[in-house]
Chain A
Amino acid sequence: MAVVMTLVQMKLAILRHAVKGPQGSTMSSAGVLGVLIAGGTVYLAFLDGDWLPAAYAVWMLGWIIGPVFSGGGDESLRPEFFSAIGLRPYRLAAGLLTAAFIGVAPVVSLLALAGLVVAGTREGVVGVVVAVPAMVLQLAVFVLLSRVAVALLGVALGSRVGAIGAGVINGVILAILGQGWVFAVALGQGGQIPEFVRYLPSGWGLLAVEGNLLALVAMAVLIVLLLGAWAALLTRRTGADRPSTRGRRPMRAATARQAVIAKELRTWTRDLVRTHQMAFALTYGVCFAAAPLALGIPDMLPLAGPIFIAMAASLSANTYGTDGTAHWLTLLTPGASDVRGRQLAWLAAVGPVAVLLTVAFTLVTGGPWPLVLSATPALLGGGAGLVLLVSVYGLVPGIDPRNRGGNPLRTSEDEGSLTGMAYLMLLLVACSAAPAVTVAAMFGWWGVPVGVATGVLCYWGFGLLAERRLTARGAELLQVMRTGRRPGSITGKSSFAMPKMSKPREFIVMVCITLGAIPLIPQGVVAMTMLSDGQLGHTWFLATHMPPALRWPTAIVMVLLGLGMYTTGFLLWRQAKKQAAGARAEAREEPQEAAP
């Protein structure tokens, strides 16, 4: 019990500091959003049909997948911290588990699980009484599943096969979630939630409340099993060690630029995190585009390549940050073309696969060739330019590779900024293809030269900007990586972090930035490509359901709406940022004025 209490106290202390510190605003906005979603989930409990178990299934998936994309989840208490104390794995796991219940996400999930109480009221007093332990057990199942998934991934990333496998699985799951409508239509047959959802572990709490008390026992057994698995995985993690004895291909580079390319490509293939990211991007692209095949719709297949490019760019956006303080070598060799080398290496890693994917899948559907051949070069050039530009201008300080410890997914302490960067990158890369896609949609083959031109321009121009910035501010970038702090900023947060602003305003910014992509990309750009291709009545693409006169206007309005949302979000954010900077400057000047 002493171990549990100590860990709980540590976690509480960390949370207390976090709320006061720069993460406070991020935490509170995440909390507000979480409470809203939890409220929505409880509301589902009042409805007929299987909406509640379906919602809990989504919560469970969120617990399992969420940490994978936010750098391994909550790592404020790491098992490595306690390896020298000599605790038994089971006691350590129990302590860490208890501490894991303290935080924003578990509290919000518990709120959502209050839906069980609502469901219980229908069954009478017994139902309500059963709902309380069911809530707690269900939450324990969520938290443990999350921990075991992260631990498993950590083990998987210890080997190449594991890294690729984990990337493939994550890609498949996320693509299925993104294309949920396909499976809703295919499995549901008219708005019904499929039966099996009730019997997933996420639905056991509800089964118990509805009178099947065996489900409570099942949850308890599952918890014990998961705790055992987690304890076993923890010992593996703290004792992790992996020597490499593979044969190495000799470096054939003969110039500085070739040397940078050779170094980068070796890092792409040898760093299992990068291998994992590539496998993920590829699988996501393929599965997302292929999912509608389940309904006999092949039209999305040509999108596999473009989606892969955008995903790959988004995941590799922090290229300088990921390498950490190795940047000092670049600083000491001025004139060596580091940026261009990295751009070429990125193209070499992503390009061939993307082109192959695009051509092969478009051959299957037999078109639309002009659109696909315009988008691909535009995206490749845009990605190669933007990855470097964003990485240099928005650097999120990373953890030096050798200090990442037992969680290879954790490449930075500032995972919020990393996630923001990934989303921004997705958007920017999509925008870089917008001119080519628009021209292709309107004038067919003319889009191809436009795509090639914008691609080359992005590659050249953004690369040049990145190189200039690197030459001018290289020492400052190194300092950011060394200390994790930006010079001159008191909070030490990246430029992607949320500045302080009023709650309603923060909410608007969050909504604009998280949801702006929906009108812009699927309802706008994708719908336009469908219209130009004459595909009508397409599931959730609103414009394709409109009467002829309103089709194009609808899609255009959607694009404008999306752009408007992003602009609004960005302007509000920048305004708050300026205010915050002004307040800081004032705070710094005051003591000086007081001096004689």
Chain B
Amino acid sequence: MTAALEINGLVKAYGEKVAVDRVTLTVPQGSFYGLVGQNGAGKTTTLSMAVGLLRPDAGTARIFGADVWSDPATAKQLVGVLPDGMAMPERLTGREVLTYLGLLRGLKKEVVTERATELLSVLELEGAEKTLVIEYSTGMRKKIGLATALLHAPRLLVLDEPFEAVDPVSAATIKGILRGFVEGGGSIVLSSHVMALVEQLCDHVGVIDKGRVAAAGTLEDVRGAATLEDRFVELVGSGSTAAKGLSWL
């Protein structure tokens, strides 16, 4: 069976600094894949290259076998993306953003209207019907971003920090939607630095450290007998950070 996402030897360097160094990962169909790593480890860069938002210096990315760079039309039709910290069409309301994107994706107008209504209601955004996206809170931005990623019924979701700055109630809603997506046969890759969340949601984990894959596989294989957090610190951390204190406190 072709993998939902197959990343092979991706490299990205900015001048002297190698941000992503030959990263290879396979996301099987139907899996819920967590990508963990410290800030600046290269998670966002890897995911951006995997979905065609950033051109890699070397390596390939395939979505259900379709190469993101040589066959973008097929690959991008199959994937829904939630990038971290990118702008939206800021002067549109949430519903207008969804209408705009749905039409851009080539959906029929009636289908777009129906799905937009459902998404806004499930994500509890219909109260903000008249609010422009530029006035949204960070949590609301994440939710409308997730809605745009889900709108065209993709088979793979690539989500960069989907739970950052989202309140617990909304987070529970989002978790429910994502679990349902995987149960329905979809595949998800999400990046996070919250280990408990990844442990709770994901069945596969990839650990990225300094631009390289430190460990990858099923959750059980990666964490072994320990918790994911302990294993992560063991793989990535310098060890003694917890003992350091602040001299003036």
Which residues of A does B touch, CB under 8 Å? Answer: 243-248, 251, 253-256, 258-260, 262-263, 266-267, 270-271, 323-326, 328-329, 331-336, 400-402, 475-476, 478-479, 482, 490
How distant is B71 from chain A, measured CB to nearest CB, in Å? 10
How distant is B80 from chain A, measured CB to nearest CB, in Å? 9
Q: Indicate whether A266 sits within 8 Å of B96 (C-beta atoms), given known contacts A326-B90, A475-B55.
A: yes
B101 at the interface (CB under 8 A from A): yes
Residue from B72, B73, B86, B131 in contact with A328 in the complex, judged by beta carbons closer than 8 Å: B86
A324 to B132, CA, bound (A): 16
Residue from B51, B72, B148 in contact with A329 in the complex, judged by beta carbons closer than 8 Å: B148
Q: Indicate whether A336 sits within 8 Å of B104 (C-beta atoms), given known contacts A248-B96, A331-B52, A476-B55.
A: yes
A401 to B132, CA, bound (A): 12
Q: Which residues of B contact A255 (CB under 8 A)?
A: 103
Contact A326 B76 (CB under 8 A): no
A419 to B72, CA, bound (A): 36
B23 at the interface (CB under 8 A from A): no
Q: Indicate whether A323 sits within 8 Å of B87 (C-beta atoms), given known contacts A251-B99, A260-B104, A333-B101.
A: yes
Contact B132 A332 (CB under 8 A): no
Contact A478 B130 (CB under 8 A): no
Contact A256 B55 (CB under 8 A): no
Q: Mark out the residues of chain B between 46 and 95 whose CB falls within 8 Å of any chain A CB in the assembled complex.
A: 51-55, 72-73, 76, 79, 81, 83, 85-93, 95
How distant is A470 from chain B, measured CB to nearest CB, in Å? 13
Contact A254 B86 (CB under 8 A): no
Contact A263 B100 (CB under 8 A): yes
A258 to B148, CA, bound (A): 18
How distant is B205 from chain A, measured CB to nearest CB, in Å? 26
Q: Which residues of A contact B87 (CB under 8 A)?
A: 323-326, 400-402
Contact A478 B89 (CB under 8 A): no
Contact B109 A326 (CB under 8 A): no
Which residues of B does A touch, CB under 8 Å? Answer: 15, 51-55, 72-73, 76, 79, 81, 83, 85-93, 95-96, 99-101, 103-106, 109, 129-132, 134-135, 148
A508 to B53, CA, bound (A): 41
The interface centre, meaning the residue of B83, B86, B109, B130 with most chain A CB atoms within 10 A of its CB, is: B86
Contact B100 A401 (CB under 8 A): no
Contact B73 A326 (CB under 8 A): no
Residue from A245, A253, A323, A476 in contact with B89 in the complex, judged by beta carbons closer than 8 Å: A323
Contact sample, A vs B, 14 pairs, CB 8 Å cutoff:
A258-B103, A259-B99, A262-B96, A263-B96, A266-B91, A271-B91, A325-B85, A332-B53, A332-B81, A334-B72, A400-B90, A476-B55, A478-B53, A490-B15
A401 to B15, CA, bound (A): 29
Please give me the 7 A-B residue pairs with the lowest Cβ-Cβ distance, nearest first: A259-B103, A270-B91, A326-B87, A325-B86, A336-B104, A400-B87, A324-B87
Q: Indicate whether A270 sits within 8 Å of B132 (C-beta atoms), given known contacts A254-B109, A333-B104.
A: yes
A244 to B72, CA, bound (A): 38
The interface centre, meaning the residue of B73, B81, B109 with most chain A CB atoms within 10 A of its CB, is: B109
A263 to B96, CA, bound (A): 8
Contact A253 B55 (CB under 8 A): no
10 further interface pairs, Cβ-Cβ under 8 Å (given A270-B91, A324-B87): A256-B103, A256-B106, A259-B99, A262-B96, A267-B90, A331-B52, A332-B79, A402-B87, A402-B90, A479-B55
How distant is A396 from chain B, measured CB to nearest CB, in Å? 16
The interface centre, meaning the residue of B53, B79, B130 with most chain A CB atoms within 10 A of its CB, is: B53
Q: Which residues of B contact A402 (CB under 8 A)?
A: 87, 90, 134
Contact B54 A478 (CB under 8 A): yes
Query: Which single residue of chain A is at the shortest CB-CB distance from B51?
Result: A332
A256 to B103, CA, bound (A): 5
Q: Which residues of A contact B105 (CB under 8 A)?
A: 256, 333, 336
Q: Which residues of A contact B106 (CB under 8 A)?
A: 256, 335-336
Q: Which residues of A contact B54 (CB under 8 A)?
A: 475, 478-479
Q: Indicate whether A248 sits within 8 Å of B130 (C-beta atoms), given known contacts A271-B91, A329-B148, A475-B54.
A: yes
Q: Which residues of A contact B90 (CB under 8 A)?
A: 267, 326, 400-402
Q: Indicate whether A244 sits within 8 Å of B52 (C-beta atoms), given known contacts A263-B100, A266-B92.
A: no
Residue from A247, A324, A400 in contact with B130 in the complex, judged by beta carbons closer than 8 Å: A247
A334 to B109, CA, bound (A): 19
Q: Which residues of A contact B129 (CB under 8 A)?
A: 248
Q: Indicate whether A244 sits within 8 Å of B103 (C-beta atoms), given known contacts A266-B96, A475-B52.
A: no
Q: Which residues of B contact A479 (CB under 8 A)?
A: 54-55
Query: Which single residue of chain A is at the shortest CB-CB distance from B49?
Result: A475
How distant is B227 from chain A, measured CB to nearest CB, in Å? 35
Q: Which residues of A contact B51 (CB under 8 A)?
A: 332
Q: Which residues of A contact B52 (CB under 8 A)?
A: 331-332, 475
